[in-house]
Structure 1
């Protein structure tokens, strides 16, 4: 396989996630396909030899393309959830996938797009990238040519708009009509990112700093059985920051960011298929609880990397 073939195959691996990002920013599947196609054209004109994080780099490009498209829209009425009824909206090289289109539409919901449409393009992009895709504010700031503090403020303003709407979620859990909830804190995605980084690097102190002292980790029976099958000790419950830190600094699983019922979380993926998920509860910027689930029935899981 030559470099061009490798790049094309790598892009196809990331295409579903790139389309999910563009769709949530733009609110239209045809426009999302346009954004992904434009991303591919830019990739083919770029030098990828020095790219270390291909998924992150592709996300940056599709986010910038989507922001430009959002800013260039004329003042006109638009269908906020524009799900095509035939194959005419599919772009070159993208086969029809009705199941994927249905998943995208259902995972977001019309109500969410009605609120997203009231935001400025910058607010919308910051909110989507951070609250739905767990992109750190430092990376969002680079995409938008703003400071991390400004990116955080944009997402915070967008989040308040959701909270002001009738029927907005009032407690932790999956959001109404696909709107993600930040548990009790606006920093859930940041806390998950810090947890993932510290556990990957085996950084005991950094992991301890992001955990509440009385944190409880609970595993369902399927997760316990999966741990036994893979040679890992996965107890049904772990109590306290010290015990949780010791468990996860030597944890051999390598979870990746994911959307789980519209909420930021982590997923353990094997052979391209999610086998388990990490559901987080956050308060005051600290992780107060983690639910490990290997019984994935009824969960809507979108792997982001």
Structure 2
């Protein structure tokens, strides 16, 4: 896949999702790194528009699941049905069997249904009635959720959050951008007509290219030092795990590809500490969560205090 095609993908998404270019880049980094993305913010700021724009920009199978409290795991994974012709059970695939899956308002589902995604997101497989089914490749889950303090939500547990490479926060648009949204109504107009600009095979090529990006030893040492700093901080009860360190390295590799490089720089790590690390660590005080300003301030402090490679 050429860099021109990659820029076309970014521009295609930006044509309907106006304003937050950093969020677009973060979502592309998740795609390149074979990761999953959790988009969290208040209702009405474009979470679903961003996720749908990426899905429609890739010529691959797309499915959308709007989560509700009464959903069951079978509604997502699929179910075995007795065939009247063969008198045997046949597995009917659920919406998880797609290349890009939009899990809309995931934290409105009960924990039992949320946990049904764990195997799929971690191993790209689904096990039902003792049989393991392989999901298509590429495979990516883009989940949206409202902030945890909103009514009718079930906070995602730590092991579920850890399956997401990044937690992306959109924020409110600028006044200029909001005026453009009111004038063009991209979600109701341009999004419906958005065409795919790359194929699923192109995505696989990009992901393989990301795997080949080199990370020098000083940068891997820097990632380890950051992880250890989170584990030793007095205000953090649960620090970054080794899987979290791997996620930070994967994001750094993908960031390099996005910048048309085959090697990582310290900035590739520093630029994604908040989005990759914040939802993976737990504050010592139960009243604080991964979205608190206190945790973000701690991560900023650690970024300044842990020496980065020259």
TM-score (norm 1): 0.26
TM score, norm. by length of structure 2: 0.26
Structure 1 or 2: more helix by fraction: 1
Bigger relative contact order (CA 8 A; separation at least 6): 2
